Amino acid sequence: MLRFSVIIPVFNVVKDIKQCLETIANQTFKDFEVLCVDDCGTDGSIDIVKEFTQKDSRFKVLSHDSNRGVSVARNTALKEAQGEYILFIDPDDWVELNMFEAIDNAIKNSNNSDAIVFGYNNCYPDGTVEDHDYNESSSLKLEANNINYVVGCIWNKAFKNSKIKELGVDFPVGLIVEDAEFCFKFFSQIDKCYITKGIYYNYRKGREGSYTTEDIAGERINDTFKILERMYDFSIQKGLFKKYKLALLDYFCQTIKGILQCPNQKDNILKTADTLLDKMDFPNSFKDLETPKFMFWKN
């Protein structure tokens, strides 16, 4: 069985995708496949991918017949993935050449943990780099007070493929801020994960699609609230709300703080937040928590 399946959705990233694929092709650890999903872009990105498939049989193209979005692209690849662990890499990012080797070592050190979490760099257009590393390598027992350390982005994690299938976790179709829901559904249903020290992923910050890009800000904000509501509904459905309500409220409030960066949307954000809080029966269902400290974003 292959050690890793690398999933890459491909849509209009012609400027950066070659660097991404080269850093994967030249890994020091060789036992992997790369599933690139052609989501029908128009800039020739997929032609660069096909060049890699011609010289390296580990690279494969899965094709959509129309643009269906990143969530569907990832779900398409998940159905085909043969690797023991799944890695999600965005096509405009790049990775360190020893990333797969380091993750393989972490898997062995963790006795085949259901998930491995590793450090990353935020890389800005002006050349500024913010490093996000962990102090040490260790097992993390997942509780309400720490699950949000791992809920968020999917690209600095390796997920056990069999556990994804066992839990029935996939990406929400039609939403553009999908990582958090996938992570919450996965990590809330396992007991622990393994954190490994070291920075192996380079994420391009400040690219198109941020909350402060006004032409899509409204869509991203609406999708963010849909994700928050879906996470809440999932916790109720699976009987996890009592265990993770502290984490849900904390994630909710931190997310609101983040999207309030878009000042022209403030009224809409606060109104939608209040609607969701009403659904969550706030503060009645949170009366055992110190709820006032979570409401700083309303000031």
Given this model, what pLDDT does residue 212 score?
A: 43
Q: Is residue 90 in some structural domain?
A: yes
- CA–CA gap between residue 85 and residue 82 (Å, rounded): 9
Q: Which of 161, 183, 204 is the endpoint of a domain?
A: 204
Q: Is residue 295 in some structural domain?
A: no
Given this model, what pLDDT does residue 43 score?
A: 92
Alpha-carbon distance values, 289 to 255, 270, 285 (Å): 19, 22, 9
Q: Is residue 297 in some structural domain?
A: no
Given this model, what pLDDT does residue 266 score?
A: 86
- Residue 11 belongs to domain spanning: 4-204
Q: Residues 99, 17: one domain? A: yes
- CA–CA gap between residue 260 and residue 257 (Å, rounded): 5
- CA–CA gap between residue 248 and residue 94 (Å, rounded): 31
Mean pLDDT, 10 residues at a time, over the chain (299 residues)?
Answer: 97 96 98 96 95 97 93 97 98 97 98 98 96 96 96 96 98 88 98 98 76 57 93 98 94 88 84 92 88 62
Number of domains in the chain: 2
Q: Residues 76, 163: one domain? A: yes
Residues 106-165 pLDDT 10s:
999 999 999 999 999 999 999 999 999 999 999 999 999 999 999 999 999 999 999 999
Residues 81-98 pLDDT 10s:
999 999 999 999 999 999
- What's the pTM? 0.94
Q: Residues 122, 223: one domain? A: no
Q: Is residue 209 in some structural domain?
A: no
**53: CATH:** 3.90.550.10
Q: Residues 236, 105: one domain? A: no
Q: Residues 109, 49: one domain? A: yes
- CA–CA gap between residue 192 and residue 111 (Å, rounded): 12
- CA–CA gap between residue 120 and residue 199 (Å, rounded): 5
Q: Is residue 235 in some structural domain?
A: yes
Q: Is residue 298 in some structural domain?
A: no
Tell the burial category of 259 from Cβ atoms under 10 Å away from its Cβ (0-12, 13-18, 19+): buried
The secondary element (H helix, E strand) that includes residue 45 is helix 45-55
Q: Residues 39, 148: one domain? A: yes
